[in-house]
Every structure is written in C-alpha cells, then in structure tokens.
Amino acid sequence: MGGRRGAPGSGDDYSFVSPVVKYLVFLFNFIFWIISLVMVGIGVYARMMKHAEAALACLAVDPAIMLMVVGILMFIITFCGCVGSLRENICLLQTFCICLTVIFLLQLTAGILGFVFSDKARNRVTEMINNAVIHYREDIDLQNLIDFGQKEFGCCGGVTYTDWSQNMYFNCSLDNPSRERCSVPFSCCILSKDKEVINTMCGQGMQNLEYIEAGDHIYTNGCIDKLVNWIHSNLFLLGGIALGLAIPQLVGILLSQILINQIKDQIKLQNYNLKHSSDPWS
C-alpha cells in the first residue's frame, strides 16, 4: 500500500503503512519463528532417542515434551506475526498482539502470585522435586537434570538425603531386591579433587548412616532449601532475565499495534477516496 493524499480538512496530508515498521515486525517474528522450529526439532529428536516405555513414563516432567509444546505455541504465534505483517492482515496481527499480551500478563501474574504466595509455591516445588525423585530412573533427561542440580547446588534429595528412599531402586525396605537399596545417586557424593580414582559407588548404603556420619561422604542437605537460598542470593540476576524476556514481548506488542493502526488508517483513507471519487458533487 503506497502513500495517498489524506482527506480534505483532516490535517493529514498523507496516510501510509511505514515499510520500516512493517519489516521490523516481520524480522522480529521471523527470528523467533526460526527459534521455535529449532526448539521443536530438538524436542522431537530427544523423544525419538528414548525408549517407548520411557516415553510414556513421566510426561509431566519431561523436558523434551515441554520444549515441543513451547516451540509449537511459539511457532503458531510468530507465524501469525510473519504473515500478518507481510500481508498487512489486521486479523493475524491482532491475533499475534493479543497472544503476546496474554502471555506477558500470565508471566506477570505468575511472578506476583509466586512472590505473594511463596509458601504455596514452595510446597508446589517440593511436590515436583519429590515426583522427580520417584521417576529418576525412568527418564534419562530427568535423571541428567537432577544429577546436574545436585552437583551444582551441592545437595541431595528434596528436603534431605533420605528422600531417595521414595524411589523404588533406592528404597530401604527389606524386601527391595535392588543393588542400590538404601543408596543415593553418585551426584550426591562429595568428591575430593586430590583423588586420582573416583569411586562411582560412593553413595552405596548412605541412607543407613546417621546424618553426621553420612555428611562425611555425601551432601546431606536437600535441594529445596539450596534452591530457595540461591534465588534469594540472585534476585537481581533473575530480575534481569525476567526483564530480558519481557522487553522483546513489549516491543512486539508495540510494533504490531503501530502497524495495525497504520493499516486501519490506510483502509479508512482508501474508503474515503473511493467514496468521494465516485461522488462528483462531494
């Protein structure tokens, strides 16, 4: 749509869709559209690499499933933005704008509720970690995630190291035939840097030991308190990440709304010119 002379007395000599705004909206969406395709591809690849029984074991905590879901939603939203900006389609652009606004408001609401109801949020996190402990051996991605967390934060289990008894392989019941009975994962172990040979069985039987005695070999504190302390110590970092996620969303909302208004003005101007060009007495 090119520039056209505005309506007489309107105070606007020309009304047009800015190509800068149009292609900025397109470029913004195209970049995130590519990212969404990569996310879906990684998620699908991760699922295909798993065994069929593991694929059905614990979908709620499966990072690959989460990656695919987020990627597909992102693909649909950015596709609306890409096509809407190129075709100057108000319906698609409004869909894109509304979706971004809803996502931004949901993120803002979740942040506020998480801060106000921190105790309930902590209980929810506790449930998620305990559920992850139970399904530790059923999903390789989940296992790697837990191992990474325990090594990174220097912790073991949810509240304490004995939480690993919730897992069927590490359970301390006498009728448990597992070789890992009453043990904890290797990621719970305190590793000495001066040792040349690492004992990968260092978690064997650690749940049978008293808290102080076990503390000489493994991390005995749970990961929940460690995680909470880390969050409190890195509030500025988390705030910066949240701001970094919010800025692109706000920019996308602003640019798409500007483009929508320009297209609407252009349509009004075209209708005005069409009406008066067909009316010689106007």
pTM over cut 0.75: no
C-alpha distances (whole Å) from 262 to each of 69, 72, 242 are 33, 30, 31
Does 109 lie in the same domain as 16? yes
Task: Extract the runs of DSSP E, i.e. beta strands, from the chain.
Answer: 4-5, 14-15
Query: Do 187 and 147 touch, CB atoms closer than 8 A?
Result: yes
Lowest-confidence range among 6-15, 42-51, 173-182? Answer: 6-15
Distance between CA atoms of 133 and 115, rounded to whole angstroms? Answer: 26
Q: How far is 221 from 226, CA to CA, in rounded Å?
A: 8
Residues 61 and 198 placed together within one structural domain of the fold: no
Tell whether 112 and 166 lie within a shared domain.
no
Q: Are residues 81 and 216 in the same domain?
A: no
Domain count, the chain: 2
Residues 30 and 163 both lie in one domain:
no
- Do 184 and 79 lie in one domain? The reply is no
| Structure confidence at residue 59 as a pLDDT band (50, 70, 90) | very low
Judgement on whether residues 164 and 203 belong to the same structural domain of the protein? yes
Report whether pLDDT(57) > 80: no
User: Which pLDDT band, with edges at 50, 70 and 90, does 260 fall under?
Assistant: very high
Q: Is residue 227 part of a domain?
A: no
The answer to the question of residue 146 being in a domain is no
Do 18 and 96 lie in one domain? The reply is yes
User: Is 80 within 8 Å of 92 (Cβ atoms)?
Assistant: yes
Residue 230 lies in a domain: no
Confidence at residue 280, expressed as pLDDT on a 0 to 100 scale: 54
Mean pLDDT of the chain: 82
Predicted local distance difference test score (pLDDT) of residue 188: 94
For the record, the structure tokens of 174 come out as 């006498």
Answer yes or no: do 273 and 190 share one domain: no
Parent domain of 215 = 156-221
115/172 same-domain check: no
For the beta carbon of residue 125, count every other beta carbon within 10 angstroms: 16
Same domain (yes/no): 99, 47: yes
pLDDT class for 279, splitting at 50, 70, 90? low
76 with 204, same domain: the answer is no
